[in-house]
Amino acid sequence: MDKAHQKVKVRPTTARRRAERAAATGGAPILDFATPTPYDLYVRTNTLHRLQHPLTDDPGEMSFLVISQIMELYFKLVDFELRDAQRLLRADDLWAALAPLRRAALHLEGLNGSWQGLRWMTPADFNRFRDQLGEASGMQSAMYRHLEFRLGLKTASLTRPHRKQPEQHQALLNTLSEPSIWDDAIAVLARHGHDIPRELLERDFSVEHQPHPAVEAAWTEVYRDGGPGNLLRLLGEALTEVAERFGEWRYRHLSAVRRAMGAKAGSGGSEGIGWLERSMARTVFPELWSARTHM
């Protein structure tokens, strides 16, 4: 953002003021401003569109770069919604928590749609600029790691790439050590009378939750009541939507990698497809799925 933008703020307005302006212009848009356009001030497009710096002259690299940045913004948005849902679950406001969970599922749909913009990429297309990426790899995304930790997929070693960025590293360690949204959902079950062992409620949350029969039994019991007033069941379905959409993200990621590079080694040192396949085997909200066998 340039200095002129930094000094000027968006001026709030009101419905009455908007109506007056529309009447004064005859419904035509305002075209003259004494400051940079309010849209630029709010969205900061001037900054946003300066963030693309391709490393080659290959036109396909711009797609790869911009879509990667779009995905990063979606990671942030989904993580934001999940944090809000956690805040509401901890306050036992289940009804209010449904809204950010539903938004998170919709944002994940948008995230998944981003892959469409890379369907053109064959190995030959990717190879034209891949070497210039060096060791840069999507698995080094700190915001994606926040999202995984928030969903309960905890791997402490995956914070290590960020140690040279102390603030980022500490933020990841904080998310790692906090309860995931699945831990918060299990705590909700306990507060609502379900028999959840204390060791699941008071544990080291930096370690990934392991499926437990008591949690599975609780969700089985929750789903026996199909009435509209069963907020726990509505919570279960909202979490299911998030888990399904996130599962689609992982599958589409695998498909995109298979399309663009086959079984080649990943840029960040992983074996590529093999790493992604093992990652997909880890289930988000495991008992929410296993309980369905007993419903």
Between CA 294 and CA 125 the distance in angstroms is 48
Is 169 annotated as ligand-binding?
no
Residue 253 backbone phi and psi in degrees, to 5: -60, -50
As to burial, measured by CB atoms within 10 angstroms (0-12 exposed, 13-18 middle, 19+ buried), residue 41 is buried
Between CA 249 and CA 251 the distance in angstroms is 5
Q: Tokens in use for 138?
A: 């999507």
Is 17 annotated as ligand-binding?
no
Residue 68's closest CA among 131, 140, 125?
140
Q: How many CA atoms lie within 13 A of 283 on its CB side?
A: 10
Q: Tokens in use for 149?
A: 């930790």
Annotated binding site for heme: 253
Annotated binding site: 130, 253
Annotated binding site for substrate: 130
